[in-house]
Amino acid sequence: MIFRSAHLLICSLIIFPLFGQSQTRVGISGGGTSANFEYPEQNQNAGYESEKKLGFNGGIKVDIPLVKSQMLKLTPELFINQNGAKDQYFTSWLAIRDSMVNNKISLDYIGIYFPVKFNLQAPDGAGIFLTAAFYADYTISAKIASNQIDGEDIEFKSEADKIDMGYRFSFGLMVSEGVGIEVGYNEGIKNIEFATKLNSNTTQLVNNRGLTLSLVALF
């Protein structure tokens, strides 16, 4: 609850003072996410594998020109994103044989992007753009299901475990004034080992990552 209130406060401070600025636009986006986990090489060698999980992404953004030509912009965005993965690994069973564990992990986040946008735009509004961003987000739902677990909420040791951070790059095409499509890549930089419920005596390194495809509309 405290973190959600902080999100609302930050967004209010960023967004509402901007409506009075010329050429500043508000937009929405929505589309699909293909997410999985990134394991280090030692985990892969031990038999850990991660497959893609499909989800949804959406957001509300502000498009703020930083230069008169509008080639460079700041586009802060409040977003939701469904991350997670389908992962599998071997575990000992009755200390006699190994069995395969197949997990489906669903992690839903709300967060803020802080992108810088490079924009090449024609007079009719069509054009291309590139963005680079840092993001921070907060887990609003976390569930796990597998061939050994029917389905349960993931327990967090602390509020800090619910926070993820990372970077994002995207490429987009505006097909007309205010309407476009955007492809993005997100890479987490924080260890979310807790989410996989790996029963191991060693610390595992696990990061979120995913591709997004979204429709964008600016008003």
Mean pLDDT of 77-88: 91
* Most confident option among 56-60, 152-156, 205-209: 56-60
Question: Does 16 fall in a domain?
Answer: yes
Instruction: Tell me the per-residue pLDDT of 94-128, one tens digit each, with 9 for 90 and over.
Output: 444 456 667 888 999 999 999 999 999 887 778 99
Q: Which of 5-9, 159-163, 177-181, 207-211 has the lowest mean pLDDT?
A: 5-9
Mean pLDDT of 200-216: 81
Instruction: Tell me the per-residue pLDDT of 139-162, one tens digit each, with 9 for 90 and over.
Output: 999 998 877 667 788 888 888 889
Higher-confidence residue of 69 and 186: namely 186
Q: What is the value of pTM for the model shown?
A: 0.82
Query: For residue 212, how many other CB atoms are within 10 A of its CB?
Result: 22
- Measured distance CA(194)–CA(198) in Å, rounded: 8
pLDDT at residue 213 greater than cutoff 90: yes
Mean pLDDT of 3-8: 52
Give the HSE-up count for residue 105: Cα atoms under 13 Å, Cβ half-sphere. 29
The mean pLDDT value of the chain amounts to 81
Residue 36: its pLDDT value, please? 92
Question: Does 174 fall in a domain?
Answer: no
SS3 content of the chain, % helix, strand, coil (to 5): 15, 60, 25
Question: Does 96 fall in a domain?
Answer: yes
Residue 199: its pLDDT value, please? 47
Strands (E), 94-178: 97-121, 127-146, 152-153, 163-176
Mean pLDDT of 164-184: 95
In the chain, the number of structural domains is: 1
Residue 206: its pLDDT value, please? 83
Question: Does 47 fall in a domain?
Answer: yes
Domain that holds residue 7: 2-116+143-167+184-218
Higher-confidence residue of 3 and 166: namely 166
Residue 201: its pLDDT value, please? 47
Instruction: Tell me the per-residue pLDDT of 18-52, one tens digit each, with 9 for 90 and over.
Output: 444 568 899 999 999 999 988 766 555 455 677 89
Residue 191: its pLDDT value, please? 87
Question: Does 172 fall in a domain?
Answer: no
Question: Does 178 fall in a domain?
Answer: no
Question: Does 45 fall in a domain?
Answer: yes
Residue 123: its pLDDT value, please? 77
- Measured distance CA(55)–CA(53) in Å, rounded: 7
